[in-house]
Amino acid sequence: MADAISRLDLSLDAIAGLFHPPEQIISIEMLGSGNVNDTFLVTLAANADCQAFVMQRLNTNVFEKPELVMRNLLALGTHVQQRLASNPPELAGRRWEIPKVLQTRDAKDHWVECNGEFWRSISFIGEATTSDVISDAEHAQEVGYGLGMFHHLISDLPVSDLEDTVEGFHITPIYLDRYDAVLDQQAERLSDHLLKDARVKGAIAFIESRRKDVDILEAASERGELQRRPIHGDPKINNVMLDQFSGLAVGLIDLDTVKPGLVHYDIGDCLRSCCNSLGEETLEIESVTFDLDLCRAILEGYLTMGRSFLTKQDFRYLPDCIRLIPFELGLRFLTDYLEGDHYFKTERPSQNLDRALVQFALTHSIESQWDELQLVIHELSGEV
């Protein structure tokens, strides 16, 4: 990966110059630690219209139709800007921003290289920061509030206005089918090496013992108990921006996965990311636990806004999504590892296996606290 970025550096100035006058570009640096896209912060001169902007190369292996991603970003941005223009009272005393799509100098919303590489630029949310670890209960509540406010602002955006940019995303039965196909199609190669690894054997056994529960959210949706709404798709902790002075949530970033879905995907993914203090890259797998106190704090923050749109059935399935989403991500990490690490970026040979085991450990921790988790949801729902 490092070699690829080094080769890319030679053309970054030229690409950034397509979005902004080159003479005002001061520096270009890598930004964030995402597993999918390549992201850069372009810093501008003091006389420019803004201090900086974000430039990204979309991973078209993941987003096979990047034009649809851009269409969703524009639809989302227009809708939220309209909501913000009315000065909603629930935002009194705090700012809220949404990344805006920036056009190229010839008025296009993206640029495609001759080799098919897809580039776009978006506005940079200034005087704000993100974190990889929850620091305290107040921080947890703000992260939850941020996701709740995001859902609140887009709750009246018709799902018909959004494209399904990654078909099957967060639909766990589809990931299980893919995992089964990889095991079947590559059985001979895998049996020679990977399947003899005790850690791989343990991960496979973990999956086998939980097959019957993977369709719980989709089955509820098919029965009409859960409704598809606009969702973020990837609201992990470092996608929630906090004001660097007040600590208040000011927006969500990484909006490429915005699409129709179940809000439970977002809630489960946020909690998965926030309630494991060791993070998804830890090698201390035996020490991974799900922090139920942080879970409560995040949900309290979320429900500040979430009560305006969640139904009784939505509350009913909250424990299930909290357990299912880390299991799903572990399944995806393991599948990618078995298939040769084609989806998630890696820096070492067994990184995706380690990531999978972390998520399975988190799932197990949630299961071991199941009664307590259900009680927390019951209390927060107001049915006490």
pLDDT of residue 35: 63
Q: Residue 74's pLDDT is what?
A: 95
Q: 131-167 burial, b for 16+ CB within 10 Å, e for fewer?
A: eeebeeeebbbbbbbbbbbbbbbbbebeeeebbebbe
Cβ(266)–Cβ(309) below 8 Å: no
Which tens digit of pLDDT belongs to each residue from 164-191? 988 899 999 999 999 999 988 877 777 7
* Contact (CB, 8 A) for 90 and 152: yes
Paired with 56 in beta bridges are 39, 120
Question: Quick check: 19 and 102 in contact, CB under 8 A?
Answer: yes
State the pLDDT at residue 41. 95
Hey, what amino acid is at 294? Answer: L
Q: Answer positive or negative: Cα dihedral of 48, 51, 57, 59.
A: negative
Which distant-in-sequence residues (6+ apart) come within 8 Å of 284 by Cβ?
278
Q: Residue 231: name the closest of 259, 198, 255 by CA.
A: 259
Average model confidence (pLDDT) across the chain? 92
Dump pLDDT digits (tens) for 4-59: 444 444 489 999 999 999 999 999 999 876 667 889 999 999 999 899 999 999 98
pLDDT (tens digit per residue) in 290-316: 999 999 999 999 999 999 899 999 999
Give CA 140 to chain center in angstroms.
Answer: 17
Distance CA 327, CA 334 (A): 11
pTM above threshold 0.85? yes
Query: Each residue of 124-143: pLDDT tens digit?
Result: 999 999 998 899 999 999 99
More confident residue, 124 or 382: 124
If you ran DSSP here, which 8-state letter would residue 301 be given? H
Burial of residue 65 (CB within 10 Å: 0-12, 13-18, 19+) is middle
Task: Please give the single-letter amino acid code of residue 200.
Answer: V
Domain extents in the chain: 2-124, 137-380
Residue 103 DSSP label: P
**Band of residue 3 on the pLDDT scale cut at 50, 70, 90:** very low
Distance in angstroms (rounded) separating the CA atoms of residues 61 and 182: 18
pLDDT band at 115 (very low <50, low <70, confident <90, very high): confident
What fold does the segment set 2-124 form as a domain? Answer: Phosphorylase Kinase; domain 1 (3.30.200)
The fold adopted by the segment(s) 137-380 is Aminoglycoside 3'-phosphotransferase; Chain: A, domain 2 (3.90.1200)
